[in-house]
């Protein structure tokens, strides 16, 4: 079983409009809703790849009940979310059908009380006993300590469970110092962590800060990785046009599934990038186009990188 943690779960709403114009009223042509937050997106992709997944994090209010109802219909995903008094947040993605661009609106999430955070930690420790790997993903809701991911990384390491961390800002900085097995920032998050805008040097710097392996998403430029086994760059066969929402989460699912399956690093990176690109081509956040994924998997190029000076 793979465990994914989404402390700031969400109900993802995707609106499609013919053209998005500021200060104008819009007729929505399509509405989709699904359980959201980075870890739930990762879980959905892992389940589609054939892995058994348990999801945990916080859920509350009417929106939280909708999220849990939708999870019930997701094959391969077990709901172990922890109830809280506050209401689960919503995110709204507005897709401009004319340009393909997406505008994202994200609510902050419920305020988590100290007793609720303690209850989650107890539940998390119990779930680790049956986990082959764990993904810690996304933002922290208000009230959760900024060092929360560092605590959860150390708990996983003490239980002998490999951990992937995908967050940003101070939670990322503290989490990296706790020595996760994989850190997956995007280019902006990597630059904020290391102060460097040179990707290869930055991923190696992030490793020196504590992460065993670092895989950075470079958007259309693909992925760059620094691991104990070597350094690689994975490039897509062409630039993908579509909705990028959830693409990084699909890459995390590819990396985590590759870890559990003990794939060589080049194969993990090829899977991660093919899933990410196939998500850009899908109509809704957190989904991937399976036919596109299978076609892209054989066309992704993974090449060794020389050590940065």
φ/ψ of 160, rounded to 5, equals 75, 25
**In this structure, are strands 213-217 and 223-227 parallel, antiparallel, or unpaired?**
antiparallel
SS3 178: coil
φ/ψ of 113, rounded to 5, equals -80, 155
SS3 114: helix
| Separation CA 206–CA 186 (nearest Å) | 12
CB 243 within 8 A of CB 292: no
Cα-based distances in Å from 285 to 60, 65, 129, 156, 236: 22, 20, 31, 28, 20
Strands (E) located in 130-212: 133-137, 163-166, 182-183
What is the set of active-site residues? 249
Sheet holding 89-96, edge to edge: 30-36, 10-17, 89-96, 102-106
| Separation CA 282–CA 176 (nearest Å) | 31
Beta bridge partners of 93: 14, 104
Alpha carbon 89 to chain centroid, angstroms: 17
């Amino acid at each position: 079983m793979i465990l994914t943690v989404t402390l700031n779960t969400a109900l993802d709403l995707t609106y499609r409009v013919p053209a998005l114009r500021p200060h104008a009223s819009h007729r929505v042509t399509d509405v989709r809703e699904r359980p959201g937050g980075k870890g739930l997106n990762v879980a959905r992709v892992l389940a589609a790849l054939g892995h058994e997944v348990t999801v945990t994090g916080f859920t509350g209010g009417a929106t939280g009940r909708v999220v849990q109802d939708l999870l019930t219909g997701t094959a391969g995903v077990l709901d172990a979310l922890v109830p809280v008094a506050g209401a689960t947040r919503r995110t709204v993605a507005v897709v401009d059908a004319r340009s393909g661009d997406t505008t994202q609106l994200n609510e902050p999430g419920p305020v988590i009380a100290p007793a609720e955070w303690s209850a989650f930690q107890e539940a998390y420790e119990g779930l680790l006993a049956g986990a082959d790997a764990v993904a810690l993903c996304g933002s922290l809701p208000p009230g959760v300590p900024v060092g929360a991911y560092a605590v959860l990384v150390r708990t996983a390491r003490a239980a002998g469970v490999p951990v992937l961390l995908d967050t940003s800002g101070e939670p990322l900085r503290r989490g990296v110092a706790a020595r996760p097995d994989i850190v997956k920032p995007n280019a902006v998050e990597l630059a904020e962590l290391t102060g460097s805008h040179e990707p290869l040097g930055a991923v190696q710097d992030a490793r020196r800060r504590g992460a065993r392996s670092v895989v950075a998403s470079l958007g259309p430029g693909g992925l760059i990785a620094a691991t104990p086994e070597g350094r690689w760059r994975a490039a897509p066969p062409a630039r993908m046009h579509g909705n990028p929402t959830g693409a990084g989460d699909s890459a995390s699912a590819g990396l985590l599934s590759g870890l559990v399956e003990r794939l060589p690093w080049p194969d993990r990176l090829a899977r991660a990038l093919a899933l990410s690109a196939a998500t850009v081509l899908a109509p809704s956040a957190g989904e991937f186009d399976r036919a596109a994924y299978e076609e892209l998997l054989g066309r992704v190029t993974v090449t060794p990188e020389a050590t940065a000076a």
